[in-house]
Amino acid sequence: MQRVAADVREYQLICSSVMPALGIAYRSLPMELLDAFSHDPSAVASGTRKRRGWRVVEDIHARVLRQREILTSFLSGVETDPDTASIPENVLDNPISILMEKLQALEREREPLQEQADEVSRILVGVRASHSTVKEEYNDALSYTSVVYPEVQLYLPSTFSTLIL
């Protein structure tokens, strides 16, 4: 019973915070109803400890009847209460349509970005081809000059050689 009470309280908390955000009126559950859920009528309480025998059984029976009465009165009030907020039939349609609009806007934003990425990929292919050609020519020139003129290798800037390699 306590687990059910905890779940009902959690449901109450979620509904009271989410429903107004969706624009749906929500009437919270009465505290006496939540108390009826949270108290197990057959649990030994201070009043039950003072009694003995059949009086304990009668006390528990009275608590069960009181719990049923609270639940029944709440349920009968919910069915016939004209103040109960009616839930629109398209509760989810509006948020879904907003989500679809956002997705379409993202798609429109993505298209130019994709075109730019494709252009960069095409340019990168050309840069890679140029880089490999320059790298081969540089390595050929470096090997030739370092063999013929070993002192030239000492004066090459280190940043230039690391960029090409």
Tokens of 80: 């016939």
* Count of the separate structural domains present in the chain: 2
In a domain, 89, yes or no: no
User: pTM of whole model > 0.75?
Assistant: no
Domain shared by 136 and 108, yes or no? yes
Q: What share of the chain is helix, strand, coil (3-state, %, to 5)?
A: 75, 0, 25
Amino acid at 136: E
pLDDT in tens, 116-141: 999 999 999 999 999 999 999 888 88
Range of the domain at 18: 2-84
Round to whole Å and give the CA distance between 84 and 76: 12
Q: Report long-range pairs for 60-64 (Cβ below 8 Å, ≥24 apart).
A: 63/39
Residues making up the chain, counted from first to last: 165
Round to whole Å and give the CA distance between 132 and 118: 21
In a domain, 125, yes or no: yes
pLDDT in tens, 97-118: 888 888 999 999 999 999 999 9
In a domain, 122, yes or no: yes
In a domain, 73, yes or no: yes
Domain shared by 11 and 79, yes or no? yes
Question: Under a CB-based contact definition with an 8 Å cutoff, are residues 67 and 41 in contact?
Answer: yes
pLDDT in tens, 52-99: 777 877 877 888 888 888 888 877 776 554 555 555 555 556 777 888
Q: Which of 74, 95, 112, 111 is nearest to 19 (CA)?
A: 95
Round to whole Å and give the CA distance between 93 and 91: 6
